[in-house]
């Protein structure tokens, strides 16, 4: 029992960067844009948070800065896809390369440096005493609590507000949204920007809370797993929670199994193999329930210019 609580409790911080990134990417994809640059944005978020925290000794300033960086990076993607109507896949890959390069360049001086102020756990009085749920959910750091709130808000706004309807409509059918007088570029820019903020935040979590160090390439595929969870979640924030913590659990198992003498390299494969398996399951579900990706995901919208 204690072991399970232990694993679950560790799975939440391990899944938090994934959750933050996935919530953002769900909005991005709901607007019809595919951002394959999550990995690059996350790593930039991680290095920014670490750097600014080191510079100011204020972890919250670091976290805030990472959202700005993430948003700015994402705006490059928005500019490519929405304004230039360039190839979305290529733009996302470019962003990933850009992020991995730039973060290496920036982060060189932080390698091996301890973080001056890390995010501490803040047990929530009262709530933490609830058996099982308490220690698992409410003995975490503040960014985890913020991620709970964000997950709720992302779900709420997507399905219960005018903005949510607009966003989903743009991703399903920009033609329809256009003829309803929606400013499509504005919605898409906003969604991509917001996605960038969330990815930046996810990256920040890695470098100031989860493993408060800077290591070059420390996201190690987290951004790509975010893309997979986005599919697994069927583009619904509430399912993103499930998906993220599931992967968090795999991460935790990965460390728990190490003492058993299994090669760390084999254990490192686990999340990626698991991703493929999970996607296979999700694909079955998608074809069964006849739901799918936003219908115009990845297709640049242009008003018809000819007859």
Is 227 a binding residue for other proteins by CB under 8 A? The answer is yes
Least CB distance to other proteins at residue 151 (A)? 18
A 10 A CB-CB count for 284 gives 10
Is 307 a binding residue for other proteins by CB under 8 A? The answer is yes
Span interacting with other proteins, options 3-11, 239-247, 248-256, 296-304, rule CB under 8 A: 296-304
* Angle at 139 (CA atoms; ends 138, 141), nearest 5 degrees: 100
Is 279 a binding residue for other proteins by CB under 8 A? The answer is yes
Least CB distance to other proteins at residue 31 (A)? 14
Is 149 a binding residue for other proteins by CB under 8 A? The answer is no
Is 180 a binding residue for other proteins by CB under 8 A? The answer is yes
Is 303 a binding residue for other proteins by CB under 8 A? The answer is yes
Rounded Cα distance between 290 and 286, Å, is 6
Q: In the window 33-62, what residues touch other proteins (CB under 8 A)?
A: 34, 36, 40
Considering the complex, state which of residue 102 and residue 128 has its C-beta at the smaller distance from other proteins: 102
Asked if residue 243 lies in contact with residue 233, where contact means CB atoms within 8 angstroms, the answer is yes
Of the residues 130, 133, 255, 284, which one makes contact with other proteins according to CB under 8 A: 284
Of the residues 122, 134, 173, 190, which one makes contact with other proteins according to CB under 8 A: 173
Is 300 a binding residue for other proteins by CB under 8 A? The answer is yes
Is 242 a binding residue for other proteins by CB under 8 A? The answer is no
Of the residues 55, 90, 132, 153, which one makes contact with other proteins according to CB under 8 A: 90
Asked if residue 248 lies in contact with residue 73, where contact means CB atoms within 8 angstroms, the answer is no
DSSP sequence for 70-92? HHHHHHHHHIIIIIS---HHHHH
Rounded Cα distance between 68 and 196, Å, is 8
Span interacting with other proteins, options 8-16, 196-204, 226-234, 251-259, rule CB under 8 A: 226-234
Residues that contact other proteins, how many (by CB under 8 A): 86
Is 287 a binding residue for other proteins by CB under 8 A? The answer is yes
Asked if residue 246 lies in contact with residue 239, where contact means CB atoms within 8 angstroms, the answer is no
Asked if residue 173 lies in contact with residue 162, where contact means CB atoms within 8 angstroms, the answer is no
End-to-end alpha carbon distance in the chain = 67
Is 192 a binding residue for other proteins by CB under 8 A? The answer is no
Residue carrying the six token digits 């493929």: 276
Q: In the window 106-125, what residues touch other proteins (CB under 8 A)?
A: 106-108
> Could you tell me the maximum CA-CA distance found in the chain, to the nearest angstrom?
68
Is 280 a binding residue for other proteins by CB under 8 A? The answer is yes
**All residues at 6 or more sequence positions from 137 whose CB lies less than 8 Å from its CB, including other chains:** 12, 127, 148
């Amino acid at each position: 029992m204690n072991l399970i609580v232990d694993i679950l409790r560790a799975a939440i911080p391990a899944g938090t960067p994934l959750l933050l990134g996935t919530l953002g990417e769900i909005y991005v994809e709901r607007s019809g844009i595919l951002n394959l640059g999550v990995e690059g944005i996350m790593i930039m978020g991680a290095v920014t948070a670490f750097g600014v925290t080191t510079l100011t000794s204020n972890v919250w300033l670091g976290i805030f800065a990472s959202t700005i960086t993430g948003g700015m990076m994402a705006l490059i993607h928005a500019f490519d896809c929405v304004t230039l109507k360039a190839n979305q896949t290529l733009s996302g890959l470019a962003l990933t390369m850009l992020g991995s390069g730039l973060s290496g360049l920036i982060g060189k001086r932080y390698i091996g440096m301890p973080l001056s102020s890390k995010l501490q756990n803040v047990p929530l009085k009262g709530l933490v005493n609830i058996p099982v749920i308490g220690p698992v959910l409410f003995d975490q750091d503040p960014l985890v609590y913020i991620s709970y709130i964000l997950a709720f808000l992302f779900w709420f706004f997507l399905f219960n507000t005018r903005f949510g309807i607009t966003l989903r409509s743009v991703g399903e059918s920009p033609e329809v949204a256009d003829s309803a007088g929606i400013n499509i570029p504005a919605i898409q820019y906003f969604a991509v920007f917001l996605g960038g903020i969330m990815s930046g935040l996810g990256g920040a979590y890695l470098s100031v809370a989860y493993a408060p160090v800077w290591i070059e390439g420390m996201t190690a595929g987290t951004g790509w797993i975010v893309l997979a969870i986005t599919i697994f979640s069927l583009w619904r924030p509430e399912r993103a929670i499930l998906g993220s913590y599931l992967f968090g659990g795999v991460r935790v198992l990965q460390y728990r199994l190490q003492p058993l003498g299994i090669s760390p390299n084999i254990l490192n494969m686990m999340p990626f193999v698991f991703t493929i398996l999970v996607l296979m399951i999700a694909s079955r579900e998608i074809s069964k329930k006849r739901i799918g990706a936003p219908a115009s995901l990845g297709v640049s919208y242009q008003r018809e210019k000819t007859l």
